[in-house]
Structure 1
Amino acid sequence: MKKIFPIILAGILLNAAACKKDSAFLDVQPTSILTNQQAFSDPAQVLSILADLYNRQQDFSGLDNGWASFADFSESFPSENGSASIVQRNEWGFKEWETWDYGYIRDLNLFIERATEANTLAETDKKRFLAEARFLRANYYFEMVKRMGGVPLILQSLRYDFSGDPTYLQYPRAKESEIYDFVISEAEAIKNDLPVNPNEKSRATKGAALAMESRAALYAGSIARYGVNTPQVSLPGLEVSIPASMANGYYTKALNAAKEIISGSAGAYALYKNKPDLGENFASIFLDKGNNPESIWVEDYKLRSGRVNGFTVSTQPRYGAEEEEGGRINPSLNLVQSFEKLDNSFAPIPHTDGSGNPVYYNNLSDIFAGRDARLYGTVILPGSSFKGRPVDIWAGYQLADGSIVTGDDRGAQKTLPGQSGPVQVVGFDGPVSAKEFTAQTGFYLRKYVDPTPGAGSRGTNSEIPFIRYRYAEVMLNAAEAAFELGQADEAAGYMNQVRARAGLTIPLTATDISFDRIVHERRVELAFEGHILFDKKRWRIAHLVWDGNKMTAADLLSNIGSATKRSTQPFGLWPYRLHNPGNANHGKWSFRIVLPVTVTGANRFRLGNYYSFIDDNIRANNPKIVRQPNQ
């Protein structure tokens, strides 16, 4: 008994001690959760939080958000059977292209508030982090306004007080001009808190802030100037549309921001001119990460960190590619023929003579000779090469009677008249009618397609960046703003620099600069970079270019270079080899215009598409949100 009592007493004391420790344990802060003060005390920790906010930025087209947005607007054809609806529809829905991520806005506001309150960060670090977050917030508001028009402008994190009355959380839509004013003013406010460092590409810099300001001000100016052409696209409270009287003010801001970059005050940005072959040089703008003075702000990828993109896997020429993947984006003849001749003239690709007879060429590439070098840097053409090997794009043999011998699969073989054995009668890259992943327009995409070994493999993928802002666009922003302000001579100077890089060495004069020229230059320079939709919208010509009417070949070949040229269906150009022994043209190449068989619809942009539909649930939760026009 004497031995048992001490044991019992010890157990009671131990239990009591354990209870006390449990109580104390409950008051210990969890080590897996950081307080706001802890999270914002170390620059590396703050940067990791900011990195997530960078990763959530919105892009219309991007290398990791699918390839389909690049294969729309009749600039290209989607060579994937599951995506054929892109060229079969007759109109876009009103919800196309919308974005309304106020969760992201709240997180940006929280970051700004918490970084502001942080008292252990060095002032230089805090200033840069705050400027970066404000840049991301302004850039996302810009993404919203160009899709939705005026949206609620919320610059603080909102918290519900559980009172049963949420009305204090309901903000009305700001005027469209007020959102643009916010983006522009934020760029001005933060630009000097950001580094002047053209070698910093994936984080915000002074150059990035000014590039955003220039583009946003240009958009606002053109909406103000050209909105008079679509009076139906407006609201009485100006949540949609901008008064014409504001146009010049915005154009002036766009020009000044662009000139600040061009002057060098934001860093030594310049046009990329690193390779002697002008077509290769243009393609390399989007591939060269190590020595690229043109890119200003990019979404970057790094193989060693595991953050890569599969864009090349989807789009490379399929024949000979790793894992036989690719071929999904086929640029259209509509786009290809828009690249000028070197004498500054516009002309169809010369596949027939004046009498309508086919023109024969010794080499596949000869038909494209003497054109703007940006064509060769944007599109993989028949007769060109990728990754050091020729692409194999041709559609079949043309016989003496005009009939065609071809196959229903890549590299198909048949026996030609007068021959004893089968020969290849169609390219291993196509085109084969309705055969997915082949060059169904006769072309493949080159821009952003990575030739690095392994980049076309699903197991590796690519680390090339997506360029959000670049110097050539800044120069074209300056040219457009100067033109709209009546300074055509200055506009010509900016445009000529961009054009000379593409081999167009006959300078444009002030009298050459027109709205058509402005529209054309942006189309060929910025193709497949996410601009075409928003450019057409801000100029209020989208409903004219995509009017829903089907096209003929005559429609395709007329009015090249016109800003309002209709482009509702993506056409192609197929090469054929002549089999006519004894004829002088035997073995030479001719071309035919085709409309891919799955192109059964025609793009129609309705007036309601100028501003994307605001979801019914959003308006039900906030009655202060007014409806979009025409919806």
Structure 2
Amino acid sequence: MKKYILICAIAFLAFACNDLFDKTNLESMGSDIVWKDPQLIEAYVNNLYANHPSWTRVESDCSDESRNGYRTHPAWKIIKGEWGVDDNPLGWWSAYTYIRKCNDIIKNIENAPIDINLKNRIKGEAHYFRATAYFYLAVRYGGVPIITEPQEFNSPDLRPGRKSIPETFEFVSSEFAKSAELLVNFKTYDSKNFGRVTWGAAKSMEARTYLFWASPLYNIENKTDLWEKSAKLSSEVITSGTYTLNKNVRNLFLDHSSSENIFAIYYKMPERQHGLDAWAKPVTIANGDAAHWGPLQELVDAFPTINGLSIDQDQTYDPANPYLNRDPRLQAFICVNGSQYCGRTQYNYMDIGTVDPSFPAEELMRFKSWDVKGGEQFDAAGSPHNSLTGYIYRKGIKEDLAINAYSYGNGSETPFIEIRLAEVILNLAEALNEMGESELACNELFKIRDRAGILSPEVPAKNRQSKEALRKFIQNERYIELCFEHKRYWDLRRWKLAESLLGGRKFKGAKILLNLLENADILASQAYKTGSFTQQLDMLRKTWTYQTYEVDEAPYVFEAKMYFMPIPRSELETNPNLNNPGW
């Protein structure tokens, strides 16, 4: 069994009865204690994994991927434009606390009494995590103050000024490069250290950094060589042979030892867990939580057909049977009406459509009102504690997990994958296209679409006619392949498309109607009379009518100033020169 790097320093659970290894106590110890003890040093480093960004309910629900079933959820503040210096659900200025831990390690590790290889590994990890923190600060705020030493109350510069956007991204890329250099002998790990930062993780994140820096929002100097640097680094990771695409897209998040994972935050019961299964499953099996991450119709429509064409290009696409013969990723990532899900048929209809005159009125009302036997909860789309959209998140769900094994905030072990090989391939394709290498870009896209199971994985001729056409195609491939991985919202921002693709729009869900046919013989059967609500619905002769409706009550608010987030008021009170324009 693999031994994961977990939120608490479980490598030292032998000392669990002693508060010595609590992370707060570690931080309060004097350096004469921590930096002279190899176990304490490793425990301190392990806590960087603990605070790395992981699963959140906000980033997908405020993009064009999904909507939250609770209209008071913080994601709706982003959608309504009701966020700012006092309340930003996506803010992370507290990253500087994380950065201080990294600075502390980098400063003190040099003189620590540990083996040189271990020292290089720890330094590589610290530079990686410091770079990651500054990367996520940069994508939110643009240029930010760069602090590389642990600050004390008597430090000469407690209020450093902001660096420019190029200076910030230059620092981030150099940090990842330094991490890769230190980790050159750590491309893989044994089971004892499975889950630690590797050379490939640092290289991949450096490539992503250049990709973001090259994008319209941040490339204020219009430097074309940034695409080339990103492409070179991505190619280096791909050709290293260290990583391979997982052949089964349904297992992307379920196969913890997948060779596609480049860096992930792992969970393992009982020491570390989260509530993904509870918050994303339909209410009948959600156990204490539900209704988060209802996939939007726009995302569903973005998946091509099994032939590799968009639904408006493929003449075989049938709007009356919209999920038939689609890209296999659709049902691997999203539970649609009629999907086999968690050991049963999942129905997501909203109301009754046409009904055969022979169908008994009393029985009809049961299905109209979702009158489930025994007072159980029901999964009617749009009803309280259910998906607003008629679709249910599936990508990272462990469907065979017993309902009593998880509940609100706990019971799930699905790893949060920060970066995987498929993203690196898509990063390379995007960079190559921007460099004018469209054929090479298409070759990379072929790998992703072929793995997905598309019958004709080549990029359609219509989508390769120009750099602009292929750019849109690549953006759509990222939309579907990386959905629910906390990538889409930041992609729309870096491309400067959030104003047009989010702002002013009201996004949609599916309004599915159940049409009941003649069923006299089935209704009279003993199997029907003793079956559960879902089993009865399985038996009935029926058809479906698929419509759409606006899930958003008002148009999405995204103004130009929102491309760069506001600095928290608490920081502005001590350093008023930090804020971004318009806030």
TM-score by length of structure 1 reads 0.75
Shift of 1:85: 7.5
Shift of 1:205: 0.5
Shift of 1:600: 1.3
Are 1:197 and 2:155 counterparts? no
- Equivalent in the alignment of 1:242: 219
1:272-311 CA-to-partner distances (Å, cap 9, x unmatched) read: 01xxxxxxx2121111113x0111111111104x210111
- Equivalent in the alignment of 1:413: none
Q: Any conservation in 2 of the 1:92–1:605 contact (CA below 8 Å)?
A: no
C-alpha change, 1:457 and 1:518, in structure 2 (3 Å) is same
Aligned mates of 1:389, 1:153 — CA distance in 2 = 53
Aligned mates of 2:27, 2:493 — CA distance in 1 = 48
Aligned mates of 1:486, 1:135 — CA distance in 2 = 31
Query: Which residue identity does 2:108 align to in structure 1?
Result: R
DSSP 3-state at the match of 1:245: coil
Aligned length: 517
Aligned mates of 2:212, 2:386 — CA distance in 1 = 37
- Equivalent in the alignment of 1:595: 549
DSSP 3-state at the match of 1:251: helix
Aligned mates of 1:443, 1:351 — CA distance in 2 = 24
Shift of 1:438: 2.5
Shift of 1:325: 4.8
- Equivalent in the alignment of 2:514: 576
DSSP 3-state at the match of 2:160: coil
Shift of 1:599: 2.9
Aligned mates of 1:253, 1:50 — CA distance in 2 = 30
Q: How does 1:170-569 map to 2 (within 5 A)?
A: 170-194=159-183, 195-197=186-188, 202-222=195-215, 226-227=216-217, 241-246=218-223, 248-264=224-240, 268-273=242-247, 281-290=248-257, 292-304=258-270, 306-319=271-284, 321=285, 323=287, 325-347=289-311, 359=320, 366-399=321-354, 418-419=359-360, 422=363, 424-426=366-368, 432=380, 434-454=382-402, 457-458=406-407, 461-506=411-456, 507-508=458-459, 511=465, 514-549=470-505, 568-569=506-507
C-alpha change, 1:433 and 1:480, in structure 2 (3 Å) is closer
C-alpha change, 1:220 and 1:425, in structure 2 (3 Å) is same
- Equivalent in the alignment of 1:11: none
Q: Any conservation in 1 of the 2:127–2:178 contact (CA below 8 Å)?
A: no
Shift of 1:342: 2.5
- Equivalent in the alignment of 1:627: 579
Shift of 1:180: 0.9
Q: Any conservation in 2 of the 1:349–1:367 contact (CA below 8 Å)?
A: no
- Equivalent in the alignment of 2:524: none
Query: Which residue identity does 2:510 align to in structure 1?
Result: G
Aligned mates of 2:74, 2:128 — CA distance in 1 = 38
Q: Any conservation in 1 of the 2:81–2:556 contact (CA below 8 Å)?
A: yes
Q: How does 1:155-174 map to 2 (within 5 A)?
A: 155-161=148-154, 168-174=157-163
Q: How does 1:127-138 map to 2 (within 5 A)?
A: 127-138=120-131
Aligned mates of 2:80, 2:481 — CA distance in 1 = 28
Shift of 1:201: 5.4
Aligned mates of 1:299, 1:258 — CA distance in 2 = 21
C-alpha change, 1:323 and 1:432, in structure 2 (3 Å) is closer
- Equivalent in the alignment of 2:102: 108
C-alpha change, 1:604 and 1:82, in structure 2 (3 Å) is closer
C-alpha change, 1:31 and 1:176, in structure 2 (3 Å) is closer
Are 1:41 and 2:31 counterparts? no
Shift of 1:489: 1.0
One of 42, 53, 70 as aligned partner of 2:48: 53
DSSP 3-state at the match of 1:527: coil
Shift of 1:628: 1.1
C-alpha change, 1:494 and 1:139, in structure 2 (3 Å) is same
Q: 85-94 or 42-51, which moves further after superposition?
A: 85-94
DSSP 3-state at the match of 2:496: coil
Query: Which residue identity does 1:479 align to in structure 2?
Result: A
Shift of 1:452: 3.9
1:225-278 CA-to-partner distances (Å, cap 9, x unmatched) read: x24xxxxxxxxxxxxx533432x22111111111111011xx5201101xxxxx
Q: Any conservation in 2 of the 1:187–1:210 contact (CA below 8 Å)?
A: yes
Shift of 1:430: 5.8
Shift of 1:168: 3.1
Aligned mates of 2:267, 2:206 — CA distance in 1 = 25
Aligned mates of 2:33, 2:39 — CA distance in 1 = 12
Query: Which residue identity does 2:261 align to in structure 1?
Result: S
Q: Any conservation in 2 of the 1:351–1:367 contact (CA below 8 Å)?
A: no
Query: Percentage identity across aligned positions?
Result: 24
Query: Which residue identity does 2:166 align to in structure 1?
Result: S
C-alpha change, 1:370 and 1:107, in structure 2 (3 Å) is same
Query: Which residue identity does 1:577 align to in structure 2?
Result: N
One of 596, 610, 626 as aligned partner of 2:563: 610
Shift of 1:630: 2.7
Shift of 1:82: 4.2
C-alpha change, 1:137 and 1:286, in structure 2 (3 Å) is same
Aligned mates of 1:245, 1:446 — CA distance in 2 = 39
C-alpha change, 1:134 and 1:443, in structure 2 (3 Å) is same
Query: Which residue identity does 2:105 align to in structure 1?
Result: F
DSSP 3-state at the match of 1:171: coil
Q: Any conservation in 2 of the 1:570–1:599 contact (CA below 8 Å)?
A: yes
Aligned mates of 1:367, 1:439 — CA distance in 2 = 19
Shift of 1:469: 0.7
Higher-Rg structure is 1
Q: Any conservation in 1 of the 2:62–2:79 contact (CA below 8 Å)?
A: no
Q: 371-380 or 420-429, which moves further after superposition?
A: 420-429
Query: Which residue identity does 1:262 align to in structure 2?
Result: I
DSSP 3-state at the match of 1:494: helix
Q: Any conservation in 1 of the 2:347–2:379 contact (CA below 8 Å)?
A: no
Unaligned stretches of 5+ residues in structure 2: 1-24, 521-539
Aligned mates of 1:383, 1:31 — CA distance in 2 = 52
Query: Which residue identity does 1:436 align to in structure 2?
Result: P
Q: 170-179 or 417-426, which moves further after superposition?
A: 417-426
TM-score by length of structure 2 reads 0.81
Shift of 1:327: 3.6
One of 83, 91, 97 as aligned partner of 1:98: 91
DSSP 3-state at the match of 1:157: coil
Shift of 1:481: 0.5
Unaligned stretches of 5+ residues in structure 1: 1-29, 228-240, 274-280, 360-365, 402-415, 550-567
Q: Any conservation in 1 of the 2:349–2:511 contact (CA below 8 Å)?
A: no
Shift of 1:396: 4.0
1:7-26 CA-to-partner distances (Å, cap 9, x unmatched) read: xxxxxxxxxxxxxxxxxxxx
